[in-house]
Amino acid sequence: MMWSPVFAESTTAATQTPRKPHVRTTKATKAVTPTRAPVTTSPAVAATAPAPNAAIVAQTSTAPVPAAPAEAENVVVTGSLIRDPNFRSASPMTHLTSRDLRQRGITTASQALAQLASNGSGNLPANFSANGAFAAGATAPSLRGLTTDSTLVLMDGQRLSYYPLSDDGERNFVDSNWIPMSIMETIDVQKDSASATYGADAVAGVINFITRRQIKGFEANAEGGVSGRGDSGHQRLYATYGRGDVDRDGYNFYINAEYQNDDMLYNSQRGYPYNTGDLTGIGGFNGNPNAIQADGTLQGVGATTVATVRPVTVNPTTGALRTIGGLQPLGAGCGNLMTHNVPVGAAAGTTGNYANTVCEQNTVGNYKVIAPSDRRVSTTAHFTVRPWQRAELTGMFTYSQNLNYNTATPVSIRSQSRSGDISFANITLPALLSNGQLNPNNPYAAQGQAAQIYYLFGDMLPTSTQFNQAYRGSVHLSGWEPSNWGSDWKYNASFVGMTDDLAYVRTGYPIFNRVQRAINDGSYNFVDPSMNSAAIHNWIAPRSTQHSDSSEYSGELTLQKGLFKLPGGMVNLVVGGNIRYESLNNPSANPDDPLNPSAQYMGVNGFYAKGSRWVESGFFETYIPFVKYFSADVSGRYDNYSVGYNRFSPKVEALIKPIKEFTLRGTFSKGFRVPSFAETNSQTVGYVTDTPSSHSYTSAFLAQHQNAAGTGPDAYAQQYNLALNTVGNPNVKPELSTSFTGGAVIQPTRWMNLSVDYYYIKKTNYITTANQSTALEAYYTGSPMPSGISVIPDVTDPDHPDATPRAGIVNLGYINGATLVTDGLDLALDANIPLPGKLSKLKWYSKGEATYIFRYNVNYPGLGTERFAGTLGPANTTSASGTPRWRANWANTFTYDKLSLTTTVYYTSGYKLTAEDATGPGTRNDCSQAQTGFAGETTLDGSPIRCNAPSFWDVDLTLMYRFNNRFTAYANMYNVANWKPALDLGTYGGYLYNPSWSAAGMLGRAFRFGVNVTL
């Protein structure tokens, strides 16, 4: 990650010499702040880091601030228990300061973490919430692409509670949305395993948000923004007031309030092709419901807000339908929808489906949402006191709320339900109502025939609101006591408690049996939906409120003692213990009642997860500086979970620095990730697209489902949504990990640092589900099912009711069934570049970071290895966000007197639209297997439009001017070139673009303006 310098604000000032990276010190700070705190990628870089820019901003002070006794200094290093200013960690790190973030225009934790080059596949971006995310309303990083459950997120080194909803219905993670950024001093990112220091869930690394130790005086910031199209409004306000100086007065207390609001963005507000299902302009076919294609044919049957009906007979025993006529609009035509007269001989794929007129609707442009509305409000009280001379006590309480809101596409009669027992797919309008009268909604009632109906409930627009309230309180006591042996004792004791309380409210989602009752008694008007009252809407689709919560309570104590000196320095030993309690309660929003399955909501996923556990841990760390040019650090942790898991996690680090210009560093560690609450006790139904004609084993099925012309599959056998029903397994075991990093830090000149690090992570006992393709092959060929897997058939084909139904639901369970290996390179540049002659007054700072992935492989014994690097995979566990090989960024800041300009370039490489977890090992280079996340993203013959998603570039600018020590104004321009997002036709996290990598392209060129005042 790279960030640019920014003019200092009236916060706790930094010391006159650069603070050691990744180190937080509670020692008093002097009244002069450099324009930029050094930003490096590793503590090893710190010893040779370039000096900060020479320009400084003096902060007014009426009296000198006395320095505290040296012994009172308490140094906190992310990723280590050692509190020693001479300590150097060998772990690759990224260090972000609050000034860096403000200069870049980053206002939320999720925005900051999204830019990390090491933030890989499986991350949870904000825009997912508008596209059916299981963990709607939340965001989370995924270091090294190991998904959200392997990255540990902390605040001041203390744990945070899980978000009450599980990512993909499976993974526990910490939501970054609630974190108040205006009180953050730094964000430290450790990019290798920290299980030996922090616990089992730090396999991929740690992100530590560190709050400001003290604030004196008043600060306020006001900011507003809008996209270049005049939409996507943004507003942000915060204010902070603090009193006292810890070292002079013995205390500091500050309070903070923060507000931010970002408007909802619809697909209709963006250009082609993101605002329509008609992809003929890019080589595809028109995916709008009931669209006539360029060759005059009709492909499939879709539901629109104008009901379409056709006469059918109903088997009284099985409920199977048999069509006896063509489809036609119900009522006087298509209304405001596009009207097409079905041409003679139309629809090679659906001959006989339509009687005369067809209604086409652009549901993407009418309903689809790119980004939800998001409002954050938080308030924090923070105090630091010196209860006695050699101790410091810090307390903090934060209340934060996050309101996330979006609309969605109306529920349709023609969609599969969330249960295998009921379905809207074959619903019919009876000839007679329950009172014996002819059904006015059924044009065939007089002939005594039932009518099958296709319909979007356009008069009941679905909405989703996630209102999450976070309550967090913590205390931390640190200090030292004199000792006559070795060095002094240092101690740290802390306690943190946090609760997340989530209310998930949905409106506009019908209940199946109420729709059926309204159909039977005629109370819902399908002919003219505008005549339906609010009362009938509220009765058919009552408000659904789901309450979920999670908690985390943790107490920890550590003792540190310098044992003896070696030529390189003092040998330090730290021992400690931790006990914590964590729980999650996420009841189903749509519980499955076997006695009354039709009482379920349509379109509401009934996933749930529940659990609680105690964790007891003991740990140690020894820092051994053998000589000045060689040091080692050895640590270990034993975690015991009350639910039956326990493990010891060791770690060894080494630093070799033969000359000041060159440092070698390396780490080796073992870790483990315990199963999430969902992986042991849950049920989740997820949907993936499936096209029967793309499989070699469906030939017999396709032969039974031919269109009337006999030229290909009928509408039933086209692309559809296949349900994957995954159930928790209480016998699943923890994942075990082995990690290694090795690299070098080079300083060819005093003003430049270069670093390169190789990383390797291997997970065994990898928790996954069986590949659904093995179950589908067994189902369609009549072969025996794999153990623990079953398939529930879908509703029958109305045009071929006696034929074999397609697969409806694949039932799976979590298993320890694979081994995962990923490795790659981290590259970094950090330079203060001196300029010659008259340009010497101009300061140039440059920083770059890149990550390249060699491998991301998952091996299933006996089945083969799935390779995902450079492809859309793993599709089933990352919302098909993919694994691009390169992610990089490069920032250049130019400062002259009171003015600074920063240019930041971001890059994500392209990738193939194949995913071997969907199509099997060995298919990543087979373009015929390219994934299509949405109907309409293929050509007329069913082949993919394209095989690759292109790379994405983004260039941002920041201009800042400091009028005086109290007033600063700034302007940000994002996506300066207004580049569109990389076209991705396979992801299902966003429509035709990938929210994980190219969300800035969907926003387009955007502007923000703000002022900062310090008193």
Residues 6+ apart with CB under 8 A from 145: 120, 121, 122, 822, 853, 856, 883
| Residue 253 pLDDT | 97
The whole-number average pLDDT for the span 715-723 is 80
Per mean pLDDT, which range of 315-329, 361-375, 447-461, 896-910 is the poorest? 315-329
pLDDT bucket at 275, cuts 50 / 70 / 90: very high
State how beta strands 428-429 and 338-341 pair: unpaired
| Residue 877 pLDDT | 80
| Residue 709 pLDDT | 72
On whether the CB atoms of residues 809 and 792 are closer than 8 A, the answer is yes
Q: Residue 8: pLDDT above 80?
A: no
Q: Could you give the angle at the alpha carbon of 526 between the alpha carbons of 719 and 707, nearest 5°?
A: 30
| Residue 343 pLDDT | 61
Sign of the dihedral through C-alpha 534, 535, 536, 540: positive
How far apart (Å, rounded) are the C-alpha atoms in residues 864 and 377? 49
Q: Residue 67: pLDDT above 50?
A: no
| Residue 936 pLDDT | 58
| Residue 33 pLDDT | 31
On whether the CB atoms of residues 581 and 560 are closer than 8 A, the answer is no
pLDDT bucket at 839, cuts 50 / 70 / 90: confident
The whole-number average pLDDT for the span 946-974 is 94
Residue 786: is it exposed, middle or buried by C-beta count within 10 angstroms (0-12/13-18/19+)?
middle
The whole-number average pLDDT for the span 979-1003 is 92
Q: Could you give the angle at the alpha carbon of 685 between the alpha carbons of 264 and 996, nearest 5°?
A: 40
| Residue 72 pLDDT | 41
Residue 183: is it exposed, middle or buried by C-beta count within 10 angstroms (0-12/13-18/19+)?
buried
Cα-based distances in Å from 972 to 88, 130, 330, 904: 36, 26, 52, 11
Which of 86, 46, 78 lies closest to 745 in space, CA to CA? 46
How far apart (Å, rounded) are the C-alpha atoms in residues 543 and 524? 18
pLDDT bucket at 937, cuts 50 / 70 / 90: low
Asked if omega into 748 is within 30° of 0 (cis), the reply is no
Q: What is the largest CA-CA distance in the chain?
A: 103
On whether the CB atoms of residues 421 and 609 are closer than 8 A, the answer is no
> Across 357-487, where does the E strand assignment appear?
357-360, 369-371, 373-385, 391-407, 412-413, 428-429, 450-456, 463-481
pLDDT bucket at 2, cuts 50 / 70 / 90: very low
Report CA Rg, the chain.
Answer: 30
Two tokens at 628?
């000045």
The whole-number average pLDDT for the span 400-428 is 75
Q: Residue 58: pLDDT above 70?
A: no
Note the residue count of the chain: 1015
| Residue 599 pLDDT | 77
DSSP-derived 3-state class of residue 539: helix
Q: Residue 604: pLDDT above 90?
A: no
| Residue 115 pLDDT | 87
- Span 487-497, pLDDT tens digits: 789 999 999 99
| Residue 76 pLDDT | 60
Average pLDDT in the chain: 86
Residue 652: is it exposed, middle or buried by C-beta count within 10 angstroms (0-12/13-18/19+)?
middle
| Residue 642 pLDDT | 96
Per mean pLDDT, which range of 220-229, 268-277, 682-691 is the poorest? 682-691
The whole-number average pLDDT for the span 677-689 is 83
State how beta strands 544-566 and 338-341 pair: unpaired
How far apart (Å, rounded) are the C-alpha atoms in residues 669 and 198? 13
The whole-number average pLDDT for the span 655-661 is 93
DSSP-derived 3-state class of residue 367: helix
Secondary structure (H, E, C), 806-868: CEEEEEEEEEEEEEEEEEEEEEEEEEEECCCHHHHHCEEEEEEEEEEEEEEEEEECCCEEEEC
| Residue 84 pLDDT | 75
* Residue 885: other Cβ atoms inside 10 A: 17
* Residue 233: other Cβ atoms inside 10 A: 15
Which of 323, 325, 474 lies closest to 397 in space, CA to CA? 474
The whole-number average pLDDT for the span 638-662 is 95
The whole-number average pLDDT for the span 453-480 is 95
- Span 622-649, pLDDT tens digits: 999 999 999 999 999 999 999 999 999 9
How far apart (Å, rounded) are the C-alpha atoms in residues 63 and 1015? 17
Residues 6+ apart with CB under 8 A from 3: 39, 96, 97, 100, 101, 103, 104, 847, 891
Number of helices (H) and strands (E) in the chain: give both, helices first: 13, 47
DSSP-derived 3-state class of residue 281: helix
The whole-number average pLDDT for the span 92-114 is 86
Quote the percentage of the chain above a pLDDT of 70.
89
Q: Residue 189: pLDDT above 60?
A: yes
How far apart (Å, rounded) are the C-alpha atoms in residues 206 and 639? 17
Q: Residue 340: pLDDT above 50?
A: yes
- Tell me which amino acid residue 563 is: L
User: What are the beta bridge partners of residue 566?
Assistant: 569
DSSP-derived 3-state class of residue 355: coil
How far apart (Å, rounded) are the C-alpha atoms in residues 177 and 637? 30
On whether the CB atoms of residues 674 and 641 are closer than 8 A, the answer is yes
Residue holding tokens 């590949």? 771
pLDDT bucket at 40, cuts 50 / 70 / 90: very low
Per mean pLDDT, which range of 34-48, 566-580, 700-714, 888-902 is the poorest? 34-48
State how beta strands 217-227 and 1006-1014 pair: antiparallel
For every residue of 430-443, DSSP letters joined together read: -SB-TTSSB-TT-T
How far apart (Å, rounded) are the C-alpha atoms in residues 46 and 84? 14
How far apart (Å, rounded) are the C-alpha atoms in residues 696 and 928? 12
| Residue 726 pLDDT | 87
| Residue 26 pLDDT | 38
- Tell me which amino acid residue 269 is: Q
How far apart (Å, rounded) are the C-alpha atoms in residues 498 and 155? 11
| Residue 62 pLDDT | 34
Q: Residue 432: pLDDT above 80?
A: yes
Residues 6+ apart with CB under 8 A from 274: 267, 370, 981, 991, 992, 993, 1002
How far apart (Å, rounded) are the C-alpha atoms in residues 850 and 871? 18
Please give the backbone phi and psi of residue 665, each rounded to the nearest 5 degrees, phi first: -145, 150
Q: Choose from 280-284, 606-610, 820-824 the range with maximum mean pLDDT.
A: 820-824
On whether the CB atoms of residues 117 and 610 are closer than 8 A, the answer is no
Two tokens at 158?
């203390």
Which of 258, 270, 236, 257 lies closest to 972 in space, CA to CA? 236
Q: Residue 414: pLDDT above 50?
A: yes
* Residue 890: other Cβ atoms inside 10 A: 17
Q: Residue 351: pLDDT above 80?
A: no
pLDDT bucket at 413, cuts 50 / 70 / 90: confident
Please give the backbone phi and psi of residue 939, each rounded to the nearest 5 degrees, phi first: -85, 175
| Residue 417 pLDDT | 40
How far apart (Å, rounded) are the C-alpha atoms in residues 755 and 483? 40
Q: What is the DSSP letter of 913?
A: S
On whether the CB atoms of residues 122 and 141 are closer than 8 A, the answer is no
